[in-house]
Amino acid sequence: MIKFLNLKSLILFMFLGTSSLVFGQTVSGVVTDDSSQPVPGVSVVVKGTTTGTTTDFDGKYSLNANNGDTLVFSYVGYETQEAVVTGSTLNVTLQSGVALDAVVLLGNRSKPRTILDSPVPIDNISAEELTSGGQPTIEAMLTFKVPSFNAQPQAISDATAHYDPADLRGLGPSRTLVLVNGKRKNQSAQVYLNRTPGKGEVGVDLKSIPTAAIERVEILRDGASAQYGSDAIAGVINMVLKKDAQFSTFSAKTGITSEGDGFNFATDFNTTLGFGEGGFVNLTLGYYNQKLTNRAGTPGVADLPSDARDYEIEWAQNNPDLGMHVGQPDLEKGDVFVNMSHPVGENSEFYSFHGYTLRTGRSFAYYRAPYWRRDVADANFITTDGNFQGYQPTFEARIKDHINSAGLKMDLGEGWNADASLTFGKNSVDYTVNNSVNRDYLADNGTSPRTFNPGGYSLSNVIGNLDFSKVFSDVVSGSFGLEYKKEKFEAREGNPLSYYGAGSDSFAGIKPEESGEWDRNNFAAYAGLDFDISDALLLGVAGRYEDFSDFGDNFSWKLNGRYKLGSAGALRASYSTGFRAPTLHQRHLTNSQYIIVASSPEPLLQGTLANNNPAVEALGVPNLFAETSRNMSAGITYQFDRNFSASLDFYSINVDDRVLFSSQIGADGDDTTTNPVEQILEDNGVVAVQFFINAGDTKTTGADLVLNYRNMDFGAGKLHANLAANFNKTTIDAINTPDALAQNGYDIFARIEKGLITSARPRSKVILGLDYESDKVNVGLYNTMFGKVTITSPNGAEFDQELSSKIATDLSLSYKFTDNLSLTGIVNNLFDVYPDVTKASTGTAQAGSRFVYSSEVQQLGQLGTNFSIGLNYKF
């Protein structure tokens, strides 16, 4: 028996890497900061020995010590604290540090690390910081807080107007992975098909995550496919939900633009309830309503055709804006989010979170001017002869999004930890087109419905995860795990009258042959090891294998390292490969849609065929497969003192075989002969086609700079300053055209499509934030400079237009009536700054100057000045 115990002790000694064993009582506790939040990663050591441990992700620790021993609690950026053991429980509160001292969950699974300790750049943005700028939704908040993140409302772009495509580092919505509490968030049901940034891609519906439920947002600005799988080429955004909050909070906010439109109202409530013995339930309820804005141009009679009729001339004179609505859509949404946890035994924890969002929205299509729809006028359908005023279809969406996750975190003993979870998420959208006409049905029957139900789409996934981690010794820590995911995409058939003939004007319904359900599954296995070679040098390696049922497998790997410059700074670098699986939408979507075409003054009906359609296959387009990437980054971060920190990171990202949404492929304009491509289209019964294809090789290079200076004495309070910037450039190195198309002179990706990748997002963004805090008054002044963008002309480079940099200034003033009640007034875009007016010479489908500002490239949006006031109460 003695021999056995000695052998067991020796094995434990070798396996755990401890240099001494203390056989005292077990002492445990929780380490929190001065806001009562747990602090992971704190070093806890018995003074005078090498016996020690670190706190876990919940700030908990446990080690052997005797009464009278002194425990030393230390962490970079916090004052080292000593406490004497007087029993089995010892809880400690540390003084909070600045940004680089924050512990983040992203980028590692085995050992909690601070931003300073991490070998890759990570932002950690609190909910308070997110909301300070007064933006209404999470994607708008991140746009004005994170230089490399961009999202803006889209005007007149069908369903895209209700989603706001968002991306990191200009790499498109598909290449940023979004997590909620570390679990993969389902993508949206909608493909962005119109001429906007992110065209042909699919993102996550960020509007479905209410800010009131968020404790903080972590942003990993580095390729992470080797750790998290598909989509993490540009980086990872993790929304960390509120947990056992100390206060219940209620807020209400309302605002309006200086033009008198865009009225909005928001209210939310967050509280924590007890759950059994030691558990909690955090509940969030939210409501948001916004009205439309209109920034349409006024071409008036200048748009009339040479054969204009008298009533058409009169209409244009009376309606110089030609009936257009160009701006943000109407929107109404409600949110319910629940985050809960309960201990299971002494060493395990059950957790779950659930979110449900329902929103409705109304955007506007192009106004069908009377001279555009003379067939409807001559049918005397809407009005009697000579009084036709045209009509403006509305595109109305009903969007539902929910995510549900449940799991069990387990302490398996001897340093092993496990996390088993199951996550289900779904996004669905159903459409209604109002105030429209089916012109073919009208011609055949003398009448037409005015309201249509074109169908809708949904995307869902079920994900099972099993993760293990262990700190093997002071030097080695590791993690590994398994993941299984099943996805389903559904296209729901519209009402028959919505797809009769060419379909309902502005948005044709989903036909029976375009509807259906498609699914796939994939299995993944990953592993990672971190080697703390010394206090200064950290090296890490990670690998991930995935096998998809519809296109095959992929292996991604990553190497990273960090070298500390004393106790305050670090050099860091990484190299990784990555991948993005083509979405089910991109593989199976088939539809007909009215879109904006540069050569036409009005929207035209265009067709999209699925990747495996016989006509697409006959053109030599291969089955979609995974994009792959090579990511390199290097940087330095330094904390000069407790209040001043800085970081600078450079990156280079090559994406090969990027999935593109092609230009329209149709007739070549030669009516005398039929080329082989035209023959293929004719044989398959289509006139023209667009499709998804792995065809693009791109390179994105850039740099991120962050400077933070806090706690400067200023009058009766403190002044905090933040300067953050991103500089980037994307080039297209190759477009790989199938032989059948290349040999017949087809350009599958026209220069105007290329411009949406290379120049539709700002090439730079600089954010300067100043916050003043005192006992009663808080003042925030934020300046965001959006860099240049370029409108790419279909007529040639000489007609391109570069839009100059613009600065948006936001001012907030908050007054605390009591510690619990405050009132905040905010002016966004204080100086009423707009993008440069688009030149008609660009020929970029501005439809006779109906748009003042480009609908195809984005900087700071088209809202102008917005005033808002909000009330916050905690109890």
Mean pLDDT of 210-215: 94
3-state secondary structure of 816: strand
pLDDT tens digits, 158-177: 677 888 889 999 999 999 99
pLDDT tens digits, 856-875: 888 998 999 999 999 999 99
pLDDT tens digits, 53-72: 878 767 888 888 889 899 98
Determine the residue type at 719: L
Our measurement of the distance from residue 439's CA atom to the centroid of its chain's CA atoms, rounded to an integer in Å, reads 39
CA distance 501 to 757: 34
Alpha-carbon torsion (795, 202, 104, 180), positive or negative: positive
pLDDT at 230: 95
Answer yes or no: is pLDDT of 634 > 70: yes
CA distance 189 to 398: 12
pLDDT at 34: 66
User: Domain 103-874 in CATH: superfamily?
Assistant: TonB-dependent receptor, beta-barrel domain (2.40.170.20)
3-state secondary structure of 31: strand
List the beta bridge partners of residue 767: 724, 784
Q: How far is CA 327 from CA 103, 145, 633, 834, 864, in A?
A: 40, 23, 38, 13, 11
Answer yes or no: is pLDDT of 595 > 60: no
The set of residues, in sequence order, having a beta carbon less than 8 Å from that of 863 and lying 6+ positions away, is 153, 257, 262, 293, 327, 328, 828, 829
Alpha-carbon torsion (80, 81, 87, 91), positive or negative: negative
pLDDT band of residue 602 (cuts 50, 70, 90) is low
Whose tokens are 């018995």? That residue is: 46
Buried b (16+ CB within 10 A) or exposed e, 764-782: bbbbbbebbbeeeebbbbb
pLDDT at 1: 37
Answer yes or no: is pLDDT of 278 > 90: no
Answer yes or no: is pLDDT of 2 > 60: no
Percent of the chain with pLDDT over 90: 67
Mean pLDDT of 307-320: 95
pLDDT tens digits, 656-708: 999 999 998 888 777 778 888 888 888 877 777 889 999 999 999 999 999 99
CA distance 728 to 701: 6
pTM of the model: 0.88
Answer yes or no: is pLDDT of 94 > 70: yes
- Long-range CB contacts for residues 136-141, cutoff 8 Å, separation at least 24: 136/255, 136/264, 136/266, 136/288, 136/290, 137/164, 137/206, 137/207, 137/211, 137/288, 138/206, 138/207, 138/209, 138/210, 138/211, 138/214, 138/217, 138/239, 139/164, 139/166, 139/206, 139/207, 141/211
List the beta bridge partners of residue 391: 368
Least confident of 11-20, 266-275, 376-385: 11-20
CA distance 95 to 747: 61
Q: Which residue stretches of 123-245 are H helix?
A: 127-131, 138-143, 225-228
pLDDT band of residue 20 (cuts 50, 70, 90) is very low
Rg (CA), the chain: 29
Answer yes or no: is pLDDT of 573 > 90: yes
Both tokens of 70, joined, read: 């002194």
For the chain, the domains span 2-97, 103-874
Q: Within the chain, how many helices (H) and strands (E) appear?
A: 13, 42
pLDDT at 336: 98
When the pLDDT of each residue in the chain is averaged and rounded to a whole number, the result is 89
Both tokens of 125, joined, read: 């943005």
3-state secondary structure of 76: coil
pLDDT tens digits, 635-661: 999 988 878 889 999 999 999 999 999
Architecture of domain 2-97: Sandwich (2.60)
Same CATH fold, 103-874 and 2-97?
no
pLDDT at 3: 40
DSSP class of 825: E
DSSP class of 512: G
Answer yes or no: is pLDDT of 290 > 80: yes
pLDDT at 11: 35
pLDDT at 771: 94
DSSP class of 368: B
pLDDT tens digits, 21-51: 334 688 999 998 766 777 777 778 888 676 7
